[in-house]
Amino acid sequence: MDYKKSKAPSTTITRNTNELEQRAENIYEAVVIAGKRANQISVEIKEELNKKLEEFANYTDNLEEVFENREQIEISRFYERLPKPTLIALEEIESDKITVKRHD
């Protein structure tokens, strides 16, 4: 999924717990679903960021040769500005982008 186009807010907002509860059997299940999805999103974003930063990796660096790369800094800042994974997960739940499979 393209998290750059997510409509999730970048700051925490007040949520209607009744709305979240309607999307699951109870509020606790909704919280677990949001948490698991947030973990998935976090891993995906981290892998994507690591791939992009891998291009700048220089394995012969020592402490005297370390320097700042402007493009690398911009990439890092971009990912820092993305909404937090929990906010993206909650937005996905509210917009019915998540389907829950129960293994009873």
Q: Which residue has the tokens 């947030």?
A: 38
Q: What pTM value is reported for the model? A: 0.79
DSSP output for 26-84? SHHHHHHHHHHHHHHHHHHHHHHHHHHHHTT--TT--TTT----HHHHHHHHHHHHSPP
CA distance 6 to 41: 12
101 within 8 A of 26, measured Cβ to Cβ: no
Domain locations in the chain as residue ranges: 14-94
What tens digit of pLDDT does each residue of 61-96 get?
555 555 667 888 888 888 888 899 999 999 899 888
Res. 98 pLDDT band, cuts 50 70 90: confident
What tens digit of pLDDT does each residue of 24-68 get?
888 999 999 999 999 999 999 999 988 888 887 666 555 555 566
pLDDT attached to residue 100? 74
Mean pLDDT for the chain overall: 82
The residue that leads in pLDDT, 22 or 57, is 22
